[in-house]
Amino acid sequence: MRVLWIPHTPQHYLGWDGCRQYRLFEHLKDGTELHVVNWFQKKNLRGMHAWGSVSRQPDWYGQRYDVSLAPNFHRLFMRRAYPPEAVLWFNQRLFRAAVRSVITDVRPDCCVVSITHQWTGYPPFELMHPMVFDHVDRAMPSVEDRYVDESDALVGVSDALVSRHRRRKSLITVISNGVNLRKYRELDRTSAKATLGLEGRTVISLIGLTCSDTLYFVDAVRRLQRSHRNMCLVVVGGGGILTAIVERANKVGLRDLIAPGHIPSGSVATYFAASDVGLYPGDLRPWFVDAAPLKIIEYSACGVPVVSSPVSMFRTGWPNVRITDPSADAFVDAIEQALVEPGAPPDLSHYDWSQIARSFQSVLTAVRNGHSVA
């Protein structure tokens, strides 16, 4: 099967080597001819002569098509607000033309898209059927609705994420994020701590810096350090949020903050295994509540208890996950409880990436053949 794929983020983004699309490509590439659309947006006007151009080159999973787009200058003054359609018009025109040329060249049997609208505008939906919409994150309702309406089948990473669309779309399948179970289960906490030089410490970690802007978890760990002298906070990831975490830690007097920055996905499992408690400190926005955080599954694969803000997917059936209010007070209590009663991890056999890829392949085959999705 020949598949044209527009992933959720471009390949040069930090974390690409551990994201959902990367893992799916690993398991689909041998039985599927993958053609992946990537895009670049430089932060200056140099190279503007190349805007809209497409370059094709082989990649480890198949063929990659790099589309050059104009900078998103609106982000300089609209960092919090979702960009209006008028702002995206120019790049949308470039992106649609580029994708049309790729489709003409590839003639795919099926297309897979995730939401890239905030960077690229909408793709040329009219040429992309049959099309699977792989829904991985909340977006503006009007944007979500457009992708759903244009798709032939909807795949979502959580039931909460697709529930709003059940009346509008009959072909819906929930296919969660996953984990390499064998690799994670082989890791021992004592050995992992020794590898990272964390022997003798109680390790509280946030791996992948997805968290509430209030950074209340930093305050929670600082308070716990009053009664746990050997407790450290490990944060793995980079970007502006890391700077904010370091600043907050310094402000509240947190000691023993370990921040190695971005760790390649091939090495990050050791940090999960070395953790005594893992964190998912979001807030009450739907973006957090309706998500399917990969990190919680990865912690669970290592037998690590997790303290999380409300996430619908993990409310039942995950005895190692403690759902609590998104506040420093609540996280202090929940972390203390998790250290005493960590809870058994759930059966994760159906969360292995190989199984998830087989489920995704079944959807692609059904949509290509014009059948209903099971």
DSSP assigned state of 2: E
CATH fold label, 181-348: Rossmann fold (3.40.50)
Model confidence at 71: pLDDT above 90: no
Which amino acid would we find at residue 159?
Answer: D
> pLDDT tens, 227-249?
999 999 999 998 889 999 999 99
pLDDT of residue 94: 96
Q: What's the DSSP call for residue 313? A: G
Total-model pTM? 0.85
Dump pLDDT digits (tens) for 134-180.
999 888 899 999 999 999 999 999 888 888 888 777 788 999 999 99
CB neighbourhood size of 86 (10 A): 8
Low-confidence winner among 154-168, 189-203, 274-288 (lowest mean pLDDT): 154-168
- What's the angle, vertex CA 210, arms to CA 206 and CA 211, rounded to 5? 85
On whether the 2-178+352-368 domain is CATH 3.30.450.20, my answer is no
Listing DSSP states for 93-152 in one string gives HHHHHHHHHHHHHH--SEEEE---HHHH----GGG--SEEEEE-S---HHHHHHHHHH-S
Q: Name the percent of the chain lying above pLDDT 90.
A: 74
Q: Which of the pair, 47 or 60, is modelled with greater confidence?
A: 60
Buried b (16+ CB within 10 A) or exposed e, 326-339: bbbebbbbbbbbbb
Q: How confident is the model at residue 373 (pLDDT cuts 50, 70, 90)?
A: low
The full length of the chain comes to: 374
Asked whether 90 and 70 are in contact (CB, 8 A), the reply is yes
pLDDT at 215: 98
Q: What is the mean pLDDT of the chain?
A: 92
Domain ranges, ordered by start, for the chain = 2-178+352-368, 181-348
Do residues 368 and 109 lie in contact, with contact meaning Cβ atoms separated by under 8 Å?
yes
Tokens encoding 18: 């551990």
What's the pLDDT tens digit per position in 97-138? Answer: 999 999 999 999 999 999 999 999 999 999 999 999 999 988
User: Residue 41's pLDDT band (boundaries 50, 70, 90)?
Assistant: confident
Q: What is the C-alpha separation between 292 and 8, in angstroms, rounded?
A: 15
CA distance 115 to 197: 40
pLDDT at 28 (0 to 100): 96
